Structure 1
């Protein structure tokens, strides 16, 4: 039923008529449609007529290989990614991606992108990341037997740097502005396969969002249909676009007539996708203020997020750190501890204050262990504890 990949080729989001062979992955955006000001991502096309409809009769368990016909070739071994729970909370559903092998949604992307590195015969993997992406890439590279270089900024959480180092990656802290030029040099001179962005506006790896489609497939099975709305923490919008593409494919395959409205949830400190959508631009670069939500705080947006929000009839939402902390606290009190960025979906839903005719899903992306300052605070020791000291906090 699962069978081999039905992936055909790469196609530009700037001009769908601009198509390229499936390999090599074009990791610097579309060479035909991109300009000095805007780089257009590529996506993967498939032979949909050959998809066995029984593919969507299975349980939504772990290992993305269960969806192999609708993914690029999976040459890297699994770590058991996917199959994450859908938890009811306060009238909505939370898709808890912190249950993945390295505790974030990035495992879905890296199963696919590290597979591309293996299929391309690359000697290693390189990534510029201050958090989840670097740790996940390091884990999947280690599982595939490839060395990994992780270029991180000096102010990234020490716990996350230790996380990536635990997998044997070469983790180097450099000034933020030096990460991408150095990454390109590693690619050009060492031949390592890049699994993060190299372009002026975000394009990233063309295979990456394909891994995120599987969240849409799982939601379809878990809900018995598609949700009415999906609220997603949004940095570069690969997650947002990948899910949107998955829902569009479900409609294309005749499994549903409806598709959800997609809502990007960005930190108010930046918000490049909100800017692009407000101005009608294909992508935007903005000034970035201070934010503790480092996982989604970025200056650079990409065209993928614009496509997902615009074509679904959704909206771009901006949330403050205070709104994120309130959502993070309430999720934790339901047993769902997310990093600050991971609570953006719930914060965005609450900010919108809108009812929908059908299920609402807020994606929660990453464990609270990844947050800034976690593990630093020391707590007092009670020398002569009494029962009164054990009373629950009000």
Structure 2
């Protein structure tokens, strides 16, 4: 495991974890981990995410339910090499389990009362699951606009306390922020807690081990985007340690009904200042089946800069896809035996965009990260349509 320090992305001020914003300029914080060695990039005999403990921050506890090491399966696609990374088969059926295994471990180290978070549904289930496994309490703030009733029922079954907040995800985010502290570790899975992004680094090592090389493109559905950034950081670890020589192009995909990152990406000339301005502009939020990635970033727009920076450094893109494309992709995946939520299907829908299609012919092709299972989405039908 790696010793972490916490620093501000803007002014560089260092602080002590747990911390959620820079005490000097109020910007997001990130962890700066000690360099990883080639040996540290390889799997061990540990369980869950701890099989790649060498890529993770050091913790005293190692909570796990067997998350991670998810399957990588080829998809039938004419003229293209495409694989699906099935994060949808983690214990609570989403990629959030990686972050919550690390979060619950850190909470035990800190002697925390429990986990508190804002969620559109998947994170609520995951946090409740791992809080129960660790013997911790869990408090979830969920916006009424998320339509996450079924997922919240699962969280309640694990003992979570659910508080509904009128509005959209950003409103729930604000409520969870007010509740952090006093023994409650905020594990909201944007960039609010700088620890959580680090849990996704092992995805890169798993992809390289399974493919036998670095994929040309990795497509990730994004709200704020810590999963994309975490996977990219993992690939930079592998390159720095001499395990690989390249980093894939990272492509973030959003539903065009709520696409602040895609809007900012298309503004200006990839300048961070112009991005910041674009992210602070009001975002139209329309109904979308992909509610799990419908995040307007209202009140924490600077978090989006972390994702855009990772995309730029990788030579990637941020794209937006429409509801018909998402539904069609869900239908296609179901016909190949993979039942996923609409937000996950957006990763496959992105392959039809010009930004991705031209990159799908390299030696290792494209990996579409399927972030969540369809079983927790009662409104999703097996024919790929939604009400």
- Asked if Structure 1 and Structure 2 have the same fold, meaning a TM-score greater than 0.5 normalized by the shorter chain, the answer is yes
When the two structures are superposed, what TM-score results if normalisation uses the length of structure 1? 0.84
Of the three residues 6, 31, 51, the one matched with 1:10 is: 6
Give, in whole Å, the separation in 1 of the partners of 2:161 and 2:226: 25
Paired position in structure 2 for 1:358: 363
**Secondary structure of the structure 1 residue equivalent to 2:266:** helix
What is the aligned residue count?
355
- Change in 2 beyond 3 A, CA 1:372/1:288: farther
Who is 2:222 aligned against?
234
List runs of 5+ in structure 2 lacking aligned partners: 382-387
Q: Where does residue 375 of structure 2 map in the other structure?
A: 369
Q: Which residue of 1 aligns with 2:384?
A: none
* 1:24-78 deviation digits (Å, cap 9, x = unpaired): 2222x333344xxxx3x32222222xx4533444489951112223212342520
5+ residue gaps in structure 1? 376-394
Is 1:313 matched with 2:315? Answer: yes
Could you say if the C-alpha distance between residues 63 and 321 of structure 1 is closer, same or farther in structure 2, counting changes exceeding 3 Å?
Answer: same
Contact kept, 8 Å, 2:43 with 2:52, in 1: the verdict is: no
SS in 2 for 1:295: helix
Using the TM superposition, give the Cα deviation of residue 87 of structure 1 relative to its aligned residue in structure 2, in angstroms: 0.5
Q: For the Cα contact (< 8 Å) 2:116–2:185, is it kept in 1?
A: yes
Distance 1:60 1:263 in 2: 32
Q: Distance in 1 between matches of 2:24 and 2:378?
A: 40
8 A Cα contact 1:126 1:183, kept in partner:
yes
User: What secondary structure, in the 3-state scheme, does the structure 2 residue paired with 1:176 have?
Assistant: coil
Change (3 A) 1:250 1:348: same
Q: CA RMSD in A?
A: 2.1
CA contact 1:76–1:143 (8 Å) conserved in 2: no
Q: What is the deviation of 1:122? A: 1.3
Q: Greater shift after overlay, 60-69 or 336-345?
A: 60-69
- 1:71-82 matches, within 5 Å, as 71-74=56-59, 75-82=61-68
Residues 218 and 367 in structure 2, CA contact (< 8 A), matched pair in contact too: yes
Task: Determine the C-alpha separation between the residues in 2 that align with 1:312 and 1:239.
Answer: 14
Cα deviation, 1:55-107, whole Å, max 9, x if unaligned, reads: 44448995111222321234252010001000001231100101100000000
1:209 aligns with 2:205: no
Q: Which residue of 1 aligns with 2:167?
A: 176
SS in structure 1 opposite 2:132? helix
TM-score relative to the length of structure 2: 0.86
8 Å Cα contact 2:63/2:104 also seen in 1: no
Contact 1:157 1:372 in 2 (8 A): no
Larger Rg belongs to: 1
In the alignment, what sits opposite 2:179? 186
Distance 1:125 1:59 in 2: 28
Match of 2:243 in 1: 255
